[in-house]
Amino acid sequence: MIKYFFFILLICSSFQNKSDVYYTKKISPKTVVEMFKRLNVTLPGNIGLKVHTGERGGKYFLTPDFLQEIYDYTNGTFIECNTAYTSGKRHTTELHYGTLSWNGWVNNSRRVVIMDEDPSQDFNLSIPNHRNISNNIVGGRINEFNSCLVLAHFKGHAMGGFGGALKQLSIGFASRAGKANIHSGGFTTDYNTTWSHKAEQKDFTSAMADAASSIVEYFRNKGQIAFINVMSNISIRCDCGTGAPEPKIRDLGIMASLDPVAIDRACFDLILKENTEGSREWINNSNTLLGENTIKIAEELGVGTQEYNLICVDEDEDKDKDKDKDKDKDNMNYLWYILIPVIVIALVAIGLVVFFLIRRKSDGKVGSESLGISMNEKKEN
């Protein structure tokens, strides 16, 4: 008996340790806001909205127009960092602001910050329980933000296998020097020499998990951090350049969670579930580049868990619609319960009135006829 009791406790405990991941098949600016509301979380203070702003000529990144509603709702600031590669036009602050303007991020009303715009202000975040790198180098302007909402475009990637919440936390938050540090597995912080000292793939994906853990710890200690992954235009490559192939996977929806490990795992599993030629090609690319290793190491570092409860928001809405229909049906039934007796009573009343009118008319006619007979009889007499 005791054995069964502990077994039940173990099941309950494993269920409680799962992270909630909210999911909808709908993709729209309004839905992004609705999914954030589902998290029922308060982001205190100055809110950073971490985005991938795309290169010039990129076609799949989440556009500023698409994210305008969540920007307005949170009253946040779009935040980015310079790149370590020089093939695009984002590796210097001057070039990067030019690309931001080109892609529509910069206008008179939007707040956009490049966190490492002044490399001399970069600083280290320590990673005590690291797997590959012992510190993560971030831009100084990260200190301006108390909390963060990571807005990731979930897609494939030529180096990390896939890009989602964890990649935004690692490569996305690292300064130019920090990116060099991650890509080289801690060998160098000089972006000019990074690519001749690339880390082994396992070390690189582990370094990404290390860096991600430092950002999550930073914001959880300072305020709060939340995650939204948009699964649209799921190309096998990223918009780090302009040559991302056409997606071979249909748009799958939007996910939201407070756990970056769980949300990336859930997105990955959803693509696995597709089981199409395009999804299998996407998965094979990620597996070749050890993409899941980032998820695994991040879990081991305590960033989150791969165990999750997938909560389909669309089903909730369908249930609400069914409840409304049932309510309308109940109201109609209730109305009929009132109307039917009233109609019956009215019909009976009308019937009685008609009956008595006919009876009265009939009685009057009979009386007249009787009176006529009597008068005739008297005349004959």
Complete DSSP assignment for 9-57: HHHHHHHHTSEEEEEES--SHHHHHHHHHHT-----SSEEEE-----TT
Q: What is the token pair recorded at 345?
A: 């009573």
**pLDDT at res. 350:** 85
Contacts of 201 (CB under 8 A, 6+ apart): 289, 290
CA 210/CA 133 separation, integer angstroms: 7
Show me where the domains of the chain are located: 18-316, 334-372
- Is residue 278 a contact partner of residue 249, using CB atoms and an 8 Å limit? yes
Q: What is the token pair recorded at 267?
A: 């997105």
Q: pTM for the whole thing?
A: 0.80
Q: Across the 381 residues of the chain, what is the mean pLDDT of every consecutive 10-residue run?
A: 42 65 98 98 98 92 97 98 92 95 90 97 96 98 98 96 97 98 97 94 98 98 97 90 88 98 98 97 97 98 98 78 58 67 80 74 55 45 43
DSSP string, 79-145: EE---S-SSSS-SSHHHHHHHHHHTT--SSS--EEETTSSGGG-EEEE-TT-SS-SEEEE-GGGGG-
**pLDDT at res. 208:** 98
CA dist list (Å): 97 to 46, 54, 191: 21, 12, 19
In CATH, the number for domain 18-316 is 3.40.50
**pLDDT at res. 370:** 45
**pLDDT at res. 4:** 44
**pLDDT at res. 264:** 98
Q: What is the token pair recorded at 370?
A: 């009787």
CA 194/CA 43 separation, integer angstroms: 36
